[in-house]
Amino acid sequence: MARGVEVRVENVSKVFRDRGVTQALRGVSLTVRKGELFSILGPSGCGKTTLLRILAGLLKPDEGRVFFDGVDVTDVPAYERPIGMVFQDLALFPHLTVYRNVSFSLEIAGWPSDRIERRVREVLQLVRLPYEEFAHRKISQLSGGQQQRVAIARALAREPKLLLLDEPFSHLDYKIRIELIHELKRLQRETGVTTIYVTHDRNEAMLLSDRLAVMKDGVVQQVGTPEEVYRSPANAFVASFLGEVNIIPAKAVNGLIKLGDLEISLERLLPGLGNYTGDVLLLLRPESISLTPPGGDGALRFRVQLAEKVFLGPYTKLLFSGWGDIRLEALAPTREAAPLEPGSVVDVYVEASEMRVYTD
Ligand code: ADP
Ligand code: MG
């Protein structure tokens, strides 16, 4: 099988001028490694599809360059790029068979029919659609998940070195979606094709990716592994896009913040802020708040009152109110949360190393 390419995007910008002026991409730079499974994650309208279309060669950037394995392909048209694409609206031919949908691009490319048949068998095998059962069915006789598999088989037929997927599973049920995510991961490992997966769904991106880029308003906010981006988000937007998070605004005076009866030295949270005076944001994941004092002396203690309790099975969500009008959301094992009743005043604990501080 074909190995993947390295994809490098350098300072790419794109403005649309047909309905007013929209800056879809602003100075986007990133590198996707050879054979990597990479996601582009961000809310609707942040420029994901625009970036993917530029990678595909369907759209020219206003500024910036795109390189495949170090070769500038910015001016290379889509049909000359070694890519396969899967979009949300599959653009399969519904009245044609699975076989014809997959073989179509190979016929256009002038492959001999015996080679085409071999390849169709191979890719249907790869997406786990047994040839004997599925090759001669019409697309309209398949389930949504099976149609997606055909779309992936078709994208892989010509052994692309780069597979581009734009929210391909977003119209499917949760269970099928998760199943296809795992399938995609498996076949990406099997083929080694560099894969770029666009989604607005953080769970998909976390499940799937070796690394991901988080985008907002046409700007890449952060690139990293799912764990890096979740644990050390570059800013409050990334933090809240990747999961539940408590965002606590505070004022620092000479490197000290006061939260209720608690004084926190900023230097402890982020070295170099020992003398900082001004507004800060403290970020704290719900699962970082614990009901029992952790070992060691690195923990901050907050006195809070339980306002509300939401049973989630193995975990229980606890909504606390604290100093001023601050609300703190915690996620605790249900066993530990069981004795707490709304109205109880308790101490909760946070390791200083789990708290992130931002000064802008
Ligand atoms: P996403 O895929 O993240 O939802 P898009 O890349 O589709 O975002 O769009 C980014 C921005 O560019 C949006 O504001 C969108 O309305 C705008 N846009 C995209 N394509 C066009 C176009 N062909 N003409 C005008 N505006 C566009
Ligand atoms: Mg889109």
Task: Return the ligand number nearest the Cα of 44.
Answer: 1
Specify the pLDDT at position 88: 76
Ligand 1 lined by 48 (C-beta under 6 Å): yes
Q: What is the pLDDT of residues 225-256, one digit of tens each?
A: 999 999 999 999 999 999 999 999 999 999 99
In the predicted structure, residue 325 carries a pLDDT above the cut 80: no
In the predicted structure, residue 1 carries a pLDDT above the cut 60: no
Specify the pLDDT at position 267: 86
Specify the pLDDT at position 324: 74
Is 302 within 8 Å of 347 (Cβ atoms)? Answer: yes
Ligand 1 lined by 240 (C-beta under 6 Å): no
Task: Return the ligand number nearest the Cα of 48.
Answer: 1
DSSP β-bridge partners for residue 31: 8
- Tokens 């085409």 locate to 116
Q: What are phi and psi of 265, to 5 degrees?
A: -85, 120
Task: Return the ligand number nearest the Cα of 47.
Answer: 1
Alpha-carbon span 53 to 65, nearest angstrom: 13
Pick the CATH number of 244-358 from 3.40.720.10, 3.40.50.150, 2.60.40.10, 2.40.50.100: 2.40.50.100
In this predicted model, which residue has the larger pLDDT, 269 or 62? 62
Specify the pLDDT at position 274: 84
For a pLDDT cut of 90, what percent of the chain falls above it? 79
Specify the pLDDT at position 90: 65
In the predicted structure, residue 44 carries a pLDDT above the cut 80: yes
The residue whose CA is least distant from atom 26 of ligand 1 is: 16
The domain locations on the chain are 7-240, 244-358
Cβ neighbours around 287 below 10 Å, total: 14
- Chain-centroid distance of CA 82 in Å reads 24
Ligand 1 lined by 19 (C-beta under 6 Å): yes
Ligand 1 lined by 18 (C-beta under 6 Å): yes
**pLDDT bucket at 317, cuts 50 / 70 / 90:** very high
Pick the CATH number of 7-240 from 1.10.10.10, 1.20.1070.10, 3.40.50.1100, 3.40.50.300: 3.40.50.300
Q: What is the pLDDT of residues 205-220, one digit of tens each?
A: 999 999 999 999 999 9
Q: Which of 12, 14, 15, 16 to mutate to test the pocket of ligand 1 (most atoms within 8 A of CB)?
A: 16
In the predicted structure, residue 159 carries a pLDDT above the cut 50: yes
Kindly report the average pLDDT of the chain as a whole number.
93
